[in-house]
Amino acid sequence: MHLTSKIRGLTLVDLILTLGIFGIVVGSGAVILSDFLNRSYLQNTSRSVVDHLRRAQGFAMIRYQDSEWGVHFDTVDQRFTLFKGTVFATRDPAFDESEDLPDSLSLQNIVLNGGGNDVIFNQVLGNTSQHGSFIIRETLTNRQVTITLNPYGQVEVN
C-alpha cells in the first residue's frame, strides 16, 4: 500500500477572503473608535467649560485677588479663558487659564444677557448679569451639549 499525502496550500481565494474579512473588522473598529473619541471630547470639553465657570464664580465669591472673575468664549479661535477682571480686553493676562477646543468641536450660539462672549461673576454673591446659554457642537455628527447659566451663577448641562 502506497501512502500519498496531499499537501494543501493557501490559495489566492483563501488569502483574498481572509484579508477582506480582516479589512471589514478593522474598518468597523476604526469607525467605532472614532465615534467614541469624538463623544469623549464633547463630554470632557463640556466638563472643562463648567469647571472654568465654577472656578471663576468661586474666585469672585472669595474675592480672590480682590477682583471679579469671568470666562471669555472665543468663537474665532475656538477657545475659552478664565480671566481676572470685569472686561476681557483690559484683563491682566498673567491670571489667564485658556483651553482650546479639539478640532472636532466648536462653540456656537452664544446668547448671553447683554450680548457679548463674556460671563463675569460678581464678588461675594457670585451672581452674574451675563446669564444665558451656548452650545458646544461636534462638527461631524452634530451631537451637541447646551450649557445654560442662570442669574445666580448656577450651571446646567443638557
Question: CA 115, 120, 136 angle in degrees (round to 5)?
Answer: 65
Q: Per-residue confidence of the chain (158 residues) as pLDDT tens digits?
A: 566 666 677 788 888 998 999 889 888 887 788 888 889 999 999 999 999 999 999 999 999 999 999 999 999 999 999 999 999 999 999 999 999 999 999 999 999 999 999 999 999 999 999 999 999 999 888 899 999 999 999 999 99
Phi-psi domain of 65 (left: phi exceeds 0; alpha: psi -120 through 50; beta: other) = left
- Could you tell me the fold of the domain covering 12-157? minor pseudopilin epsh fold (3.55.40)
Buried b (16+ CB within 10 A) or exposed e, 65-90: eebbbbbbbeeeebebbbbbbeebee
